[in-house]
Structure 1
Amino acid sequence: MSHDHEPKDSCCSDQGCTSTQVPTFKKELTLHQPTVSDRKGHSGEFIVYGMDCSACAATIEKAVRRTAGISYVQVNYSTGKMKVTAAEPAALDTLSDTVEKLGYTLEKVQQKGNARIYTIEGMDCSSCALTLEKHLKTHAAVKSVSVHFASGKMTIEHDNPIEEIMREVAKTGYKASLVSNKRRNREGTKDKSGPHAVVLSGVLLLCGFLGSYTDVSPVLITLLYAISIVIGGYKPARSAYYAVKSRSLDMNVLMTAAVLGAAAIGEWLEGATVVWLFALGNTLQTRSIEKTRHSIRNLLDLAPPEAFVKHGEQLLRKAVEDIAVGEIIVVKPGDKIPLDGKVVKGESSVNQAPITGESVPVDKYRGDPVYAGTMNEHGSLEIMVTQLVEDTTISKIIHLVEEAQEQKAPTEAFVDKFARIYTPIVFALALAFMILPPVFGFGAWGAWFYKGLELLVVACPCALVISTPVAIVSAIGNAAKHGVLIKGGAFLEIAGRVSAIAFDKTGTLTEGRPKVAEVMATGSTEEELLSIAHTLEAYSTHPIAKAIVDYANDKGISPRQGEKFRNLVGRGVSAYLGGQEYFAGNLKLFAELNMLVGEIESRIRSLQQEGNTIVIVGNRDQILGIVAVADTVRETSAKALRDLQHVGVRQVVMLTGDNEGTAKKVASQTGVNRYFAELLPENKVSAVKQLQHEGHVVAMVGDGINDAPALAAADLGIAMGGAGTDTAMETADIVLMADHLEKLPYTVKLSRKAIRIIKQNIWFSLIMKAAALILIFPDLLTLWIAVISDTGAAVIVILNSMRLLKVTS
């Protein structure tokens, strides 16, 4: 049909292994020496859990080597890794079952292209990440490396063994853990050596301090301070060594130099206090940073690791990684849905808040899509799996958000550049303070040396460089929990500066699904009119035809018997009912039939001006009546647009290809400031550019496909309905996972608060540094106060940024 309107673990003993079987001359047992030809084919690298000795490795090697299609296998007990080469990729997929039968668990190592991904623990600021990057780049086996402080991730492409990379990371004072596809169930044990060192160092410092007020020997007191320095300062000193080796001036270098200097001039109490405060500050920073990082990692726990799979009349529990597309899983009331799929049996309501941010459960019937990580509230559901575990919507969200957190925002990039200039300048000034004034006779060496040490501590830009990334990670993580994907810090900043938002009408402000607005019978009863219209439109797939059929069905009006159905392109449809030909179409069709609409023409024109599409029903003798169909405004649109204006968006604009009457009606219902009507796609681009020329930072909201040119032209592209829509998730800068606008005001509010907090952090950090610098000259600053001004400021900045985790919609 055509019309005028186009809406748009096991133990080794399980295998009979004893400690006497462990070879004492080597950790790795390899029973087969591989040749070059062995290694040709498709390679895979796996983490093996449950091995207690190298005999376990031998057992696994033998079993895997007997697997069809495997040409090479090597299991390394000391690192828990297995390397396999197979003739076909399918052979690698069977290894998990083979190894699990032996009592072990297998995980495939997660990679980005040819690069591996590691989690780095112990980084306190982005200068730590820079030091680690520089250190690893000095190794010939490392082709590329990128360390991102805020997300705690390292992406590295290397030819040498994984354990060598881990050792190199450990040398710099941090801990690397390889990220695997099943990382969600296997978080590494927390390293508690840091807090323990802080406590022991503090106890020794306190003992030395209290001892100074007693008759304890000064030598013993100094010894207590020295041991406190060694225990608390060992890790930063080791990191400082590799930073210097990598030609990097990070906070570990500056702090270590200051402590060594304090010890050199006999200020053991100051030195020990500096070390303890520094270590304490780093511990607090690390704990706080981990909370922000967990804002995304916790999403991994949303989907259950196992599911009930239906085999005939039996239900078998299987790991989600072993479930294939097309299998039927059963989800009971109160259980989480483990994989994306489509309902094939049952009815229920599903809480989709983890994916879309919707607070109200959504009713699900046969044929409806469901997503991993959502909660089945009531009825039992049988679901056909449509995505593998690594391809589910929640997996894509996590992947996109982690990538977003690793992208530097413009402010972060600027601060990093500033810090790289600031630190060496202040370091050079510190050296100048230590040497030049005494050389030219301006005071004693000891006094100026102490001032130089204070400057070294003040040179640490920790709070400054941490001010932006932690805020961005917190904001992006919070947004993801509320069903909003912000794909980078740059887009977060733009969203915080948006002053005008342009909306596509159909499917964005409106439902995109026409509904019957009015029925007017002239030559028959309303029931007869709808019965004939139902008959004529039943064979059409046009949205307007579907709207009329649905309306008639809701009214309980059945269609008549029809024959000889015809589609009259651009005009309507026709069919014979009881031997007489009937028509349903537009004015053009009835003009061709030489039918005069007469007194109802003014009503037709009036309805069209109000944004309705008119379907005229009649035969060759008379007009039976009209059916007015209109696209309805979403219930959430008007409130969302009002809320946008409340959060400071000055211009809310509607763009549509519809006529002036339709545009005016929708504008009045939604409360937009202005609208542009009768636009072609290229005209929408012109409208966006006009708003930009007026001085606005413009966001464009659409479906991510039809509005691609306008989305690209805008400063910020926002797509709706990203759940289950790969195109929208890939093309837009921000994705609203739900198919409505209620999360848009929250997104703008969150972005604006993030910008405010970033500015607060930067100004607070700079003021603290300036105050510390000024206090050096009147001798009001001590080394330990300088440390508090640095590490204390960093902790305050982190805590301030974490407020973004609490922003609600």
Structure 2
Amino acid sequence: MNKKETYIVQGFTCANCASQFERNVNELHNVEHAKVHFSSGKIDVEGSATIEQLEKAGAFEGLKIRKEAEGVPESRPFWKSKRNIPVMISAILVIIGWVLLFNIGEGHPFTVIIFLSAMVIGGYQLFIQGVKNLVRLQFDMKTLMTIAIIGAVLIGELGEGALVVILFAISEALERYSMDQARRSIRSLMTKVPKEAIVLGNDEEQKKPIAEVQIGEHLIIRPGEKIPLDGKVVKGTSAVNEAPITGESIPITKLKDDHVYAGTLNEEGVLEVVVMKLANDSTLAKIIHLVEDAQEERAPAQQFVDRFAKYYTPAIILLAFLVMTVPPLFFAAAWSEWVYLGLATLVVGCPCALVISTPVAIVTAIGNSAKNGVLIKGGMYLEQMGSVNAIAFDKTGTLTRGMPEVTDVIPTESMSKEELLRYGLAVERYSTHPIAEAIVRKTNQEGTTLLNWQVERSEAYTGKGMAVEINGAFVYIGSPNFVEESYPDLLNGYWLDKIDELQKQGKTVVLAGSEEKLFGVFALRDEVRKGTDGVLQKLRHYGVKEIAMLTGDQTYTAQAIGEKAGVTTVHSELLPEQKVNVIMTLKKQGFTPAMVGDGINDAPALAASDVGVAMGTVGTDVALETADIALMGDRLEKLPYLMGLSKKTMAVIKQNITFSLALKAFALLLVPLGMLTLWIAIFADIGATLLVTLNSMRLMKMKDQFEQKH
């Protein structure tokens, strides 16, 4: 049976290149079958091929291969990448060449040498692939560029040919760097799980790599440690932060027989857990596969220019050939005159303006967005954002602030609000639990002090509450369940109804009291971000018809938050794969959905949506990396700006394509009249390039209008 190995591939820039690499690998004599996953940057190989053989198969694109088990190589700055050094050298030579052209002329040996050197250094891979494509009659952008550059050289326009080479090389280098950075996201997911687990056997603890841990073995997980594998609690009680899996902001109490998941954080007690799933089958591992599968289904949309080039390239070549040969052969015209016209036709057909019509606009827009605090990972995401008409928001940390805040402080009749807050500060001031921290923040806001109280003997009831001795008296703050179990006589019908009412408002309730009496109630809720309603109204102005909220929270909380935020629909108690289902349902209903989230649990939905948008600074690394766009300042207000920028960019791109093609069409109409000169051809091409560039620069002036108005 052939060995199957997965490799990480560095250097993919386009799906066509990935397909070519897959064909090359499958042609190797010692490869049974190979499958490339372009979006995740991997290749599965059945056989005995070496890395050297694989890299040789990908030499046309300069691909670098390494085994998946070796991990992801460190990211290197764009300017330090060896592959980009020729591009930078070529760019410098082009600048020098144009300086020489204006000073000593294009025909001077120094100028010729400089321009030819720039072409060879920056475009040798382009030429090799372009010639191969031409031999195979495969007409893509590389073929088009190769023909155009050769045509420019043949009629002595070395400067223009060199400029085309450098523009194309820089575009590919930036695209390659962007893709490599984006792919690191999927692979970084596994860093959320510890590499080792503490296994309990014969009353002795032993560290093992998680890959060696078997189902049925018992693990010890101490406070502050991440849970390494999916399992079930057999001993102990603790609060576990499951935000990486469910997105729930408040830790979940885990008791005997409760399930725990790899990648979640044990916050308080010691747990003994029996392993229920192997490392490759854990919930987090499934999330990783969901991300990879969803991204694999999202093949990049073919740009208009690439599709047009399939017809444009052979048409220009054929037209130039006919211009060169038909008049001399059939009408006894002068060969020199019509060969010249044919070469001029090639210059007109040089796709310089057409090629940069899209990237110049997109790069300008992306530069503008970066200044406005929005990171866009590629042009296709910027383009797609303009057609989005449905947006799904994660709740915690996206529509809400991501941390609970005290909304209600309700004392009993025998207690003042100030005194209840003082008890809250005394009990919770040294706890790191999110609820405790929220109560302490509230006391600080109210200026609460402990006076001369003597606070001693703090005691934590894991998953239930906290207690201390205040001036010798026992005082606790705990969950309603804790009070009902420990002091059932303290809760009468009034307080039970009050607790139920607060919980139906989507609030978490804790009670303060002693063994003899109840002091009062604290209610907390993760509040909606300020200005969210205005953001959603602006999005509707840009054509968003469906605004959904997706959360792992319980229904009461979700409905309350959704109503306050102003979303169209609310989906609660969702696991990661169920969030993906909501996205897929929106697609089936005819929507073009975007997903906005900030957690690992959002990663599959971010990948499955047409555009994934991550909340930047509070977002987990995986959400930030998996998403196509990141709001770096954690500000939802940037979404309307992003949609406006996308729509404006697409309008500019259409204008650019129209400009470049219209000027070329005008020049080509002069061919039958014998009036097309080299100068007109050059003017048409350079003029179109200049118009395209200046038109694209208008995007730099686009401001965040929403921010200005608010």
TM-score interval (norm. to shorter) = 0.5 to 0.7
Please report how far the alpha carbon of residue 793 of structure 1 lies from its aligned counterpart in structure 2 after TM superposition.
0.7
Counterpart pick for 1:656 among 543, 551, 560: 551
CA distance in 2 between partners of 1:411 and 1:797 (Å): 21
Partner of 2:708: none
Q: Is the 8 A contact 1:194 1:283 kept in 2?
A: no
The answer on whether the counterparts of 1:115 and 1:155 sit within 8 Å (CA) in structure 2 is no
What 5-or-longer segments of structure 2 have no aligned partner? 1-7, 12-55, 64-76, 132-142, 175-298, 705-710
CA contact under 8 A between 1:704 and 1:718: conserved in structure 2? no
Report the residue type matching 1:197 in the other structure. L
Q: Which amino acid aligns with 2:518?
A: I
Q: Which residue of 2 aligns with 1:194?
A: 98
What residue number does 2:312 align with? 422
RMSD of aligned C-alpha atoms? 4.5
Return 5+ residue gaps in structure 1 as ranges. Answer: 1-112, 117-139, 178-187, 202-226, 260-274, 295-407
Contact 2:575/2:601 (CA < 8 Å) preserved in 1?
Answer: no
Q: Which residue of 1 aligns with 2:409?
A: 519
* 1:451-471 deviation line (CA, Å, top 9, x unaligned): 434422322122111212222
Deviations 1:515-539, CA, capped at 9 Å, x for gaps: 2212122232222222223223334
Does structure 2 conserve the Cα–Cα contact (< 8 Å) formed by 1:233 and 1:256? no
Match of 1:351 in 2: none
Give, as a single letter, the amino acid of the residue that structure 1 aligns with 2:447: G
Amino acid at match of 2:383: E
2:441 to 550, 571, 574: 550
The answer (yes or no) to whether the contact 1:641–1:671 under 8 Å persists in 2 is yes
- Secondary structure of residue in 2 paired with 1:468: helix
Which of structures 1 and 2 has the bigger CA Rg?
1
Partner secondary structure for residue 633 of structure 1: coil
Q: Percent identity?
A: 42
Secondary structure of 2:432's match?
coil
CA contact (8 A) 1:197 1:231 kept: no
Which residue of 342, 347, 350 maps to 1:452? 342
1:635 Cα deviation after fit: 2.0
- Aligned residue for 2:553, secondary structure, equals coil
* CA spacing shift, 1:704–1:663, aligned 2, 3 Å: closer
User: 1:660 and 1:547 mapped to 2: Cα distance?
Assistant: 22
**Residue number among 752, 755, 759 corresponding to 2:650 in the alignment:** 755
**Deviations 1:729-756, CA, capped at 9 Å, x for gaps:** 4333222222332323222322332222
- Tell me how far apart the structure 2 counterparts of residues 154 and 779 of structure 1 sit (CA, whole Å): 50
1:587 to 463, 471, 480: 480
Aligned twin of 2:374: 484
Given that 2:593 and 2:609 are in contact with CA atoms closer than 8 Å, whether structure 1 keeps it comes out as yes
1:504 pairs with 369, 394, 409, which one? 394
Note the alpha carbon deviations across 1:72-102, whole angstroms, 9 max, x for none. Answer: xxxxxxxxxxxxxxxxxxxxxxxxxxxxxxx
Contact kept? 1:688, 1:714, Cα under 8 Å: yes
Q: CA deviation at 1:699?
A: 1.9
User: What is the SS of the residue equivalent to 2:401?
Assistant: strand
**Alignment partner of 2:403: what SS?**
strand
8 Å contact from structure 1 (residues 433, 451) kept in 2: yes
- Tell me if structure 2 keeps the 8 A contact 1:288–1:798: no
CA contact (8 A) 2:97 2:159 kept: no
Q: Is the 8 A contact 1:652 1:672 kept in 2?
A: yes
Q: Give the match for residue 474 of structure 1.
A: 364
Q: 1:573 to 1:651 in 2, by over 3 A?
A: same
Structure 2 CA distance, aligned partners of 1:526 and 1:631?
22
- 1:745 aligned residue (637, 640, 645): 640
Instruction: Confirm or deny: 8 A CA contact 1:647 1:745 kept in the other structure.
Output: yes
State whether structure 2 residue 157 is matched by structure 1 residue 253.
Answer: no
What is the 5 A alignment of 1:35-50?
none
Q: What is the TM-score with the length of structure 2 in the denominator?
A: 0.59
Amino acid at match of 1:584: I
Number of the residue aligned with 1:184: none
Cα distance in 2 for residues equivalent to 1:704 and 1:284: 43
For 2:586, the equivalent position in structure 1 comes to 691
**Is the 1:535–1:561 contact (alpha carbons within 8 Å) kept by the matching residues of 2?**
no
- Residue 769 (str. 1) matches residue 664 (str. 2): yes
* Aligned partner of residue 556 in structure 1, secondary structure: coil
Q: 2:330 aligns with which of 435, 440, 447?
A: 440
Query: How far apart in 2 are the matches of 1:431 and 1:729?
Result: 51
Measured in 1, the distance between the counterparts of 2:581 and 2:98 equals 58
Aligned-partner residue type, residue 568 of structure 1: Y
In the TM superposition, what is the alpha-carbon distance from 1:647 to its structure 2 partner?
A: 3.2
Please name the residue that 2:461 is paired with.
Answer: 568
Match of 1:540 in 2: 431
- Residue 258 of structure 1 deviates from its aligned partner by 4.3
Q: String of CA shifts for 1:12-40, please: whole Å, max 9, x gaps.
A: xxxxxxxxxxxxxxxxxxxxxxxxxxxxx
Aligned pair partner of 2:569 in 668, 674, 681: 674
Kept in 2: contact 1:510–1:633 (CA 8 A): yes
- Distance of 2:159 and 2:589 partners within structure 1: 52
Separation of aligned partners in 1, 2:61 and 2:166: 22
The Cα shift of 1:484 comes to 2.3
Question: Distance between the aligned counterparts of 2:476 and 2:670, measured in 1?
Answer: 90
Deviation at 1:244, TM superposition (A): 8.2
SS at match of 1:624: strand
> Is the CA contact (8 Å cut-off) linking 2:409 and 2:523 kept in structure 1?
yes
- Indicate the SS of the match to 1:686: helix
Shift of 1:690: 2.0
In the superposition, the TM-score normalised over structure 1's length comes to 0.53
Q: 1:506 to 1:704 in 2, by over 3 A?
A: closer
Give the secondary structure class of the aligned counterpart of 1:494: helix
Contact 1:717 1:733 in 2 (8 A): yes
> Any conservation in 1 of the 2:119–2:165 contact (CA below 8 Å)?
no
Deviations 1:47-74 (A, max 9, x none): xxxxxxxxxxxxxxxxxxxxxxxxxxxx
Aligned to 1:618: 513
Q: 1:702 aligns with which of 581, 597, 601?
A: 597
- 8 A contact 2:398–2:615 mirrored in 1: yes
- The structure with the greater share of residues assigned to helix is 2
- Answer whether contact 1:237 1:252 (CA < 8 A) is retained: no
SS of residue in 1 equivalent to 2:467: strand
Contact 1:254-1:459 at 8 Å conserved across structures: no
Could you tell me which amino acid in structure 1 is paired with residue 381 of structure 2? Answer: F
Q: 1:189 to 1:765 in 2, by over 3 A?
A: closer
* CA shift digits 1:153-188 (9 cap, x unpaired): 89656xxxx9xx97xx9xxxx9448xxxxxxxxxx7
- Written as runs of structure 1 = structure 2, the 5 A alignment for 1:294-373 is none
Q: Secondary structure at the match of 1:541?
A: coil
SS of 2:415 mapped into structure 1? coil
2:419 to 524, 528, 533: 528
| Residue identity matched to 2:694 | L
Contact 1:434 1:449 in 2 (8 A): yes
User: 1:792 offset after TM fit, Å?
Assistant: 1.0
Q: In the TM superposition, what is the alpha-carbon distance from 1:448 to its structure 2 partner?
A: 4.6
Residue among 637, 643, 646 paired with 2:538: 643
Q: 1:709 to 1:255 in 2, by over 3 A?
A: closer
CA–CA distance in structure 2, aligned partners of residues 281 and 712 of structure 1: 40
Question: What is the CA distance between 1:796 and its match in structure 2?
Answer: 1.2
Q: CA deviation at 1:806?
A: 2.8
Residues 407 and 525 in structure 2, CA contact (< 8 A), matched pair in contact too:
yes
CA drift at 1:723: 8.1
